[in-house]
Chains A and B, each alone.
Chain A
């Protein structure tokens, strides 16, 4: 177990080092940092001094090592665009993205699981087939399209909810939350739904497939033969056995949900990390891009590692299987 743990953690660290290398390459070689930071009035001597100060004359490995050490401390340098500390910028925006992704995850479970159960139990009925068809469309719709359609229907035509921004936020320490105000909750509705739709269809399809498999198993047949009420069979016996993969998928997909939030955030002008990143991309603000890449990948890799470890704790067979 300890060997497995060490191997898995070492693997995660290696992946993070590779991501850091990627981020470093972007930061260092996509455009000259000095040219991007310098303004018109800077003399040649100033530029050379800046180059020296930034340590751009050191060897490649030294620079990369310094980048990794600083990144591990949460220091990604200063934004080219407005001269603020990158980590502060990202930390400011972090709660908005987190709330969006968390609410979307909860929505996807609350809506996806019941739909999956219904389509599995009532297989072949028109509404199950209809839901199956809709789920293909749901997978096919890109999230920005979902966002635009939701805005068009609920904000522009019906005028029910705000279409952009976060509404009023309350500051709890360093965490700013929109969940405590009415306008904050109303603003959260459309973006989280737009972000959740893809996840809803995934959960629904997964639950449906798992349910259909479990319903064929012997213990369900036995429960039926014993005369256990149907509702109890479906929700007590069958559904419980389906939830493990759903939990795994939800945990693993949380990272990509945060990444995909950048599209939703752009559509809804949601002031999260993703919008910061897209602005950084259009302005070629390399430190912000590198910082965002590292942080999102860190969340992604951490979640995957935790899921793997949790699985190994639950199921000892996996410890040997994963070499």
Chain B
């Protein structure tokens, strides 16, 4: 008689997905309808924008595909609407739906790039200021004070106007996106730097950082591996909300005529171009890009709003 003793299996580590599904964050997400609406909307907008070459009826940048006799067609549900121009065409015969999809792609890309860049700049400067303190801290924070004492939109306008002026004329259209990212970054990094700095000063005094210091861990490693992860919660909220802000700033600059050129229109450029025909009854060339821009920013803000509440320890 051999008694088989069942080998005791160690308790299985729940998979990442299972852990995520049990987290507070997921719970608060499923219990907040506005967050779900925001997430679904944003996913839809991003997917459609990035599959634009596949699903758009026309390539709006290819002059060969534009036909002037198809210009100023109203949307499909109006009397003169024509397939496949679902949302109508502009004065050059460009399909509005395609233009909007391609335009959203540019807007989203610039938004992501500027959030990334301002995160990189803001986090590193904030960590350095908070960790080393003294002179470097004073210097960085005074620069931040000055930047905060000028309205952000003014900084963005000035930077983008001046940077464009410095580019050689043949590079102005190509470099427009880079200039915009730079302008938005310069007006946005201070917020991250301040948040991280404040958190770093708190963390620096804690035992685990002191222990790491005693072990002669290099400062760079302490900052990146020990302190940074503990500052990320407020940063996530700020980054989400700033993504919406970045898209808005880009759209505003493009609308004012110092952003993306008409050859590579973002949503803001489309609105600017459409705005010229506001009084001639061609309402669709301005209204649809406006709606798309609002949907984009509203969905980001709904998500940001949820994150702020869900990650705020005071509200738990």
A contact set with B: CB distance below 8 Å: 14-15, 18-19, 22, 26, 30-31, 133, 136-137, 139-145, 148-149, 151-152, 156, 163, 255-256, 259-260, 262-263, 266-267, 278, 281-282, 284, 289, 293, 296-297, 300-301, 304
Tell whether B171 is near chain A: CB-to-CB under 8 Å.
no
* Total interface residues in chain B, CB < 8 Å: 39
Tell whether B252 is near chain A: CB-to-CB under 8 Å.
yes
> Can you report 13 residue pairs joining A to B where beta carbons are below 8 Å apart?
A22-B146, A30-B165, A142-B255, A142-B293, A144-B252, A145-B271, A148-B275, A152-B287, A255-B151, A256-B153, A260-B153, A262-B157, A281-B161
- Of B20-28, B128-136, B295-303, the one touching chain A: B295-303
B202 cross-chain contacts in A, Cβ below 8 A: none
Query: Taking A142-B293, A144-B255, A282-B258 as contacts, is the C-beta distance between A293 and B154 under 8 angstroms?
Result: yes
B145 cross-chain contacts in A, Cβ below 8 A: 15
Pairwise interchain contact B149-A136, C-beta atoms closer than 8 A: no
Pairwise interchain contact B298-A136, C-beta atoms closer than 8 A: yes
With beta carbons under 8 angstroms apart, the residue of B157, B166, B294, B297 that contacts A30 is: B166
Complex Cα gap A148–B279 (Å): 11
Mark each residue of chain B from 285 to 297: 1 if its CB lies under 8 Å from any CB of chain A, else 0. 0110010011001
B224 cross-chain contacts in A, Cβ below 8 A: none
Tell whether B283 is near chain A: CB-to-CB under 8 Å.
yes
What's the nearest-Cβ distance from chain A to residue B120, in Å? 23
Complex Cα gap A14–B141 (Å): 13
What's the nearest-Cβ distance from chain B to residue A181, in Å? 23
Within 8 A of A (CB), among B270-316: 271, 275, 278-279, 283, 286-287, 290, 293-294, 297-298, 300-302, 305
Complex Cα gap A294–B240 (Å): 32
What's the nearest-Cβ distance from chain A to residue B40, in Å? 16
A263 cross-chain contacts in B, Cβ below 8 A: 153, 252, 255-256
Complex Cα gap A30–B159 (Å): 10
Complex Cα gap A19–B155 (Å): 11
Tell whether B158 is near chain A: CB-to-CB under 8 Å.
yes
Mark each residue of chain B from 72 to 110: 1 if its CB lies under 8 Å from any CB of chain A, else 0. 000000000000000000000000000000000000000
Of the candidates A145, A151, A259, the one having the most CB atoms from chain B within 10 angstroms of its own CB is A145
Tell whether B248 is near chain A: CB-to-CB under 8 Å.
yes
Tell whether B162 is near chain A: CB-to-CB under 8 Å.
yes
With beta carbons under 8 angstroms apart, the residue of B151, B165, B256 that contacts A300 is: B151
Query: Taking A31-B165, A137-B298, A139-B301 as contacts, is the C-beta distance between A259 and B154 under 8 angstroms?
Result: yes
Pairwise interchain contact A140-B150, C-beta atoms closer than 8 A: no
With beta carbons under 8 angstroms apart, the residue of B166, B257, B286, B300 that contacts A152 is: B286
B48 cross-chain contacts in A, Cβ below 8 A: none
Pairwise interchain contact B150-A266, C-beta atoms closer than 8 A: no
Query: Taking A140-B301, A156-B283 as contacts, is the C-beta distance between A278 and B256 under 8 angstroms?
Result: yes
A140 cross-chain contacts in B, Cβ below 8 A: 244, 248, 294, 297-298, 300-301
What's the nearest-Cβ distance from chain A to residue B17, in Å? 30
Query: Taking A15-B146, A282-B258 as contacts, is the C-beta distance between A26 and B162 under 8 angstroms?
Result: yes
Query: Taking A142-B251, A300-B150 as contacts, is the C-beta distance between A281 and B157 under 8 angstroms?
Result: yes
Closest-by-CB residue of A relative to B146 is A18
Question: What 20 additional pairs, Cβ within 8 angstroms, besides A144-B252, A259-B154, A262-B157?
Answer: A15-B145, A19-B149, A19-B150, A137-B298, A141-B297, A142-B255, A148-B286, A151-B278, A152-B278, A156-B278, A156-B283, A255-B151, A259-B151, A260-B151, A263-B153, A278-B256, A278-B257, A281-B256, A301-B149, A304-B149
A136 cross-chain contacts in B, Cβ below 8 A: 34, 298, 301-302, 305
Pairwise interchain contact B252-A30, C-beta atoms closer than 8 A: no
B146 cross-chain contacts in A, Cβ below 8 A: 15, 18-19, 22
Pairwise interchain contact A296-B151, C-beta atoms closer than 8 A: yes
A145 cross-chain contacts in B, Cβ below 8 A: 271, 290, 293-294
Of the candidates B145, B255, B287, B300, the one having the most CB atoms from chain A within 10 angstroms of its own CB is B255
What's the nearest-Cβ distance from chain B to residue A209, in Å? 12
B154 cross-chain contacts in A, Cβ below 8 A: 259, 293, 296-297
B257 cross-chain contacts in A, Cβ below 8 A: 278, 282
Complex Cα gap A189–B249 (Å): 25
Closest-by-CB residue of A relative to B300 is A140
Pairwise interchain contact B150-A297, C-beta atoms closer than 8 A: yes
Closest-by-CB residue of B relative to A141 is B294
The 6 A-B pairs with the shortest beta carbon distances in the complex, nearest first, are A259-B151, A140-B297, A18-B146, A30-B162, A140-B298, A256-B151
Complex Cα gap A143–B297 (Å): 13
What's the nearest-Cβ distance from chain B to residue A26, in Å? 6
A163 cross-chain contacts in B, Cβ below 8 A: 278-279
Pairwise interchain contact A284-B161, C-beta atoms closer than 8 A: yes
With beta carbons under 8 angstroms apart, the residue of A15, A141, A148, A256 that contacts B271 is: A148
Closest-by-CB residue of B relative to A145 is B290
Closest-by-CB residue of B relative to A277 is B157
A284 cross-chain contacts in B, Cβ below 8 A: 161, 165
Pairwise interchain contact A15-B153, C-beta atoms closer than 8 A: no
What's the nearest-Cβ distance from chain A to residue B176, in Å? 14
Complex Cα gap A143–B256 (Å): 12
